[in-house]
């Protein structure tokens, strides 16, 4: 028993090392400390929707929020800097606009300075004559970013480090229920109730889940404990519970996407019959997919595959149509095949399985 437990610890440590290497490879930093590749760190900062600087300035990037808001040449992403609840400055991120036209439209970037997000949203800002499309891109991105800021950014006083919004409190209660009650209660009615809570509260309302992008983001930027209590509980159920004999606990009892698939399966009882050989082939496909994606990630090649994990569909305001379509297709498939994404595709679930089992089973 001792040797088995020791082996689990070594495997978990190896998985964490892989995550750390991937964080450095993708973002150029580890636990918030910039390392050798400042360019990658800067590129990642541009992709972060919300980050907080050392002086407390909150930076909102519209790169992922306003993909559909375009100028003449394409998206016009911005960074909105907020300090003490007011717009301090606005910076333009790289775009494909004509430099001359965008230079003219850039005079708009200072129009919102000194305003709260609510005041800035109420402003009527006209575009620059001669640079209409670039102006529309800037104004549209500002509106999207300011709406996001008004919903998600608050002054970070000492007491305010605790996220006391109703959504966060209810989400924490739900994830604690999922983490504790199934350990003692084996009741089908309660399970259905918990699955509904996981899907509706943790998934659709809170948009909280564990994905490769999330854990690498934590590894590269660090975790703010007070505002990340829900994902921390999820991580405990995913990585710590298996050390005490609770394998696949997160996937089975907590994951919002797994819950959605199981609920879909309950709605239709006629399942497709899959022979053992087919199941084995699909399982081998999942393992092969996992190792291929790990290779790409560690080599720094196409780490964007993380953007296509189906968990992203819960943040449907910014999810791509490709992800949303795949999520719908897998939910429909769940009517006929129990938890198909979890069992035969999910790279995140594959990491959880690897961290709690023998490596020989994966070779």
45: which 2 tokens?
């900062």
Are 252 and 311 in a shared domain? yes
Are 181 and 296 in a shared domain? yes
Q: Please identify, among 102, 137, 153, the residue that sits at the C-terminal boundary of a domain.
A: 153
Are 237 and 294 in a shared domain? yes
**Domain range holding 180?**
1-35+157-361
Q: What domain count does the chain have?
A: 2
Question: pLDDT averaged over the chain?
Answer: 85
d(CA 232, CA 145): 27
Q: Please identify, among 126, 153, 180, the residue that sits at the C-terminal boundary of a domain.
A: 153
Q: Please identify, among 133, 153, 173, the residue that sits at the C-terminal boundary of a domain.
A: 153
Are 126 and 73 in a shared domain? yes
Q: Is residue 272 part of a domain?
A: yes
Are 130 and 246 in a shared domain? no
Model confidence at 32: pLDDT above 70:
no
Q: Is residue 59 part of a domain?
A: yes
Are 73 and 25 in a shared domain? no
Inter-CA distances, 67 with 6, 52, 260, 334, Å:
47, 22, 27, 30
Are 339 and 304 in a shared domain? yes
What are the tens digits of pLDDT across the range 108-150?
Answer: 999 999 999 999 998 888 888 777 888 989 999 999 999 988 8
Query: CA angle, 50 as apex, 49 and 54 as ends, to 5°?
Result: 145
d(CA 45, CA 26): 11
Q: Is residue 40 part of a domain?
A: no
Q: Which of 99, 98, 149, 159 is nearest to 120 (CA)?
A: 149
25: which 2 tokens?
């490879």
CATH number of the domain bearing residue 135: 3.90.1010
Are 109 and 8 in a shared domain? no
Are 205 and 335 in a shared domain? yes
What are the tens digits of pLDDT across the range 51-83?
Answer: 888 788 899 999 888 878 888 778 899 999 998
Three-state secondary structure call for residue 90: strand
- Could you give the percent of the chain with pLDDT greater than 70? 87
Q: Is residue 41 part of a domain?
A: no
Q: Is residue 250 part of a domain?
A: yes
What are the tens digits of pLDDT across the range 305-355?
Answer: 888 899 989 987 667 889 999 999 999 999 999 999 999 999 999 999 887
Are 344 and 300 in a shared domain? yes
d(CA 203, CA 197): 9
Q: Is residue 121 part of a domain?
A: yes
Are 133 and 250 in a shared domain? no
Asked whether the beta carbons of 284 and 276 are under 8 A apart, the reply is: no
Q: Which of 275, 278, 165, 268 is nearest to 226 (CA)?
A: 165
Predicted TM-score (pTM) of this structure:
0.68
The stretch 248-275 carries a mean pLDDT of 94
Are 315 and 171 in a shared domain? yes
Query: In sequence order, which ranges of 68-206 are alpha helices (DSSP H)?
Result: 99-105, 117-122, 132-152, 166-180, 188-197
106: which 2 tokens?
């850039």
Position 158 scores a pLDDT of 44
Model confidence at 272: pLDDT above 90:
yes
Q: Is residue 42 part of a domain?
A: no
Q: Is residue 188 part of a domain?
A: yes
Position 159 scores a pLDDT of 46
Local confidence band at 239 (pLDDT 50, 70, 90 cut-offs) = very high
Complete DSSP assignment for 265-283: HHT---PPP--HHHHHHHH
Element (H, E) at 324: helix 321-333
């Amino acid at each position: 028993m001792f040797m088995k437990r020791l082996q689990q610890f070594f495997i978990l440590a190896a998985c964490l090392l892989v995550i750390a290497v991937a964080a450095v490879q993708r973002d150029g930093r580890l636990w918030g400390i910039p390392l050798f590749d400042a360019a990658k760190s800067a590129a990642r900062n541009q992709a972060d929707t919300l980050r907080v600087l050392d002086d407390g300035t909150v930076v909102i990037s519209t790169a992922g929020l306003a993909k559909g808001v375009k100028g003449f040449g394409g998206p016009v992403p911005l960074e909105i800097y907020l300090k003490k609840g007011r717009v301090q400055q606005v910076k333009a991120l790289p775009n494909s606009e004509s430099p001359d036209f965008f230079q003219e439209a850039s005079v708009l970037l200072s129009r919102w300075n000194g305003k709260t997000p609510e005041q800035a949203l109420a402003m009527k800002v006209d575009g620059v004559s001669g640079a209409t499309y670039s102006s529309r891109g800037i104004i549209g991105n500002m509106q999207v970013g300011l709406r996001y800021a008004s919903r998600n950014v608050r002054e970070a006083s000492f007491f305010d480090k605790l996220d006391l919004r109703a959504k966060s409190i209810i989400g924490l209660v739900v994830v604690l229920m999922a983490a504790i009650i199934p350990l003692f209660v084996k009741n089908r009615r309660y399970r259905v109730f918990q699955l509904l809570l996981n899907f509706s509260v943790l998934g659709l309302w809170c948009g909280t889940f564990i994905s490769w992008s999330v854990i690498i983001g934590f590894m590269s930027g660090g975790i703010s404990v007070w505002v990340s209590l829900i994902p921390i509980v999820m991580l405990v159920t995913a990585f710590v519970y298996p050390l005490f004999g609770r394998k696949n606990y997160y996937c089975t009892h907590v994951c919002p996407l797994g819950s959605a698939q199981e609920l879909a399966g309950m709605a239709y009882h006629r399942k497709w019959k899959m022979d053992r050989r087919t199941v084995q082939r699909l399982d081998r496909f999942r393992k092969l997919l996992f190792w291929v994606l790990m290779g790409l990630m560690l080599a720094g090649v196409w780490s964007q595959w993380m953007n296509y994990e189906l968990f992203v569909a819960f943040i449907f305001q910014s999810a791509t149509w490709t992800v949303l379509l795949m999520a719908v297709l897998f939910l429909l498939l769940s009517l006929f095949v129990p938890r198909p994404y979890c069992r035969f595709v999910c790279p995140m679930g594959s990491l959880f399985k690897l961290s709690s089992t023998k490596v020989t089973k994966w070779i």
